[in-house]
Chains A and B, each alone.
Chain A
């Protein structure tokens, strides 16, 4: 008796895998959907409340406060890159 060829068999396995992966992804998405819908951050009003609190009148001020240390550090870095301007070299 002749055994089925490996090439044909692997082709069938590949096709099955190709079908099963999207199916598995779809099934996972469907299973996780109720969990995602139950997300407390997506619940009524909360997202809008957070958005309003972040982008209120103090947004620019808070952004400036968050960025300030990085501005100072960038200035120090620029000074290092440009190099300290020494008036005179070391003398023996």
Chain B
């Protein structure tokens, strides 16, 4: 016998999960941009290829940091729109556990995808710009994997 109730529950929670994931991606991006780029100043968008050692290079990195924030803002705006849509769908249950889980999932996805692409594939910056950056880059990926696991578990347990 096909367990239709499980599939129905999964489908009905999809709008909320998608909204939470988009918002989680946005929040993760803002943590990176605000905490790592600006407050702690561990790296900038192009700090591995154009180290901010002169005023011109600081300005250039600031420009690309701004674009990174603009994309992050866009993802957050998409998340808000999806959340609004989920709230208006009568059959979509607004479960806190599923929402928190999807926020973690989005944040983890951000760390994993951004970490793999920017830190390892393109190498345009690293978590910290020092010779032993690999350890910190791997820790960043691990944090992403952990958040994805936690988020998936929370979202599944909400069904």
Contact = CB atoms under 8 A, between A and B. Distances in A.
A46 B55 CA distance: 9
Contact of A83 (B6, B14, B59, B74): B14
B132 interface: no
Interface string A68-84: 11101110110011010
Nearest to B46: A62
Interface of A: 40-41, 46, 49-50, 53-54, 62-63, 65-70, 72-74, 76-77, 80-81, 83, 86, 88-92
Interface in B40-90: 45-46, 55-56, 59-60, 63-64, 67-68, 71-72, 74-75, 78, 82
A53 B2 contact: no
Nearest to B11: A83
Contacts of A73: 25, 75, 109-110, 113
Contact of B113 (A46, A49, A72): A72
B22 interface: yes
Interface string B113-136: 110011000101000000000000
A82 B21 CA distance: 13
Given A63-B67, A89-B4, A81 B75 contact: no
Interface residues of B, number: 39
A53 B25 contact: no
26 contacts: A40-B55, A41-B59, A46-B55, A46-B59, A50-B59, A50-B60, A50-B63, A53-B56, A53-B60, A62-B64, A63-B67, A65-B122, A66-B64, A70-B75, A73-B25, A74-B75, A76-B21, A76-B109, A77-B78, A80-B17, A80-B18, A81-B18, A83-B14, A89-B6, A92-B1, A92-B3
Contact of A90 (B3, B64, B72): B3
By secondary structure, the B interface counts as: helix
Contacts of B64: 62, 66
A92 B3 CA distance: 8
Q: Which of B15, B64, B82 has the most CB of A within 10 A?
A: B64
Contacts of A63: 67
Q: Which of A67, A74, A80 has the most CB of B within 10 A?
A: A80
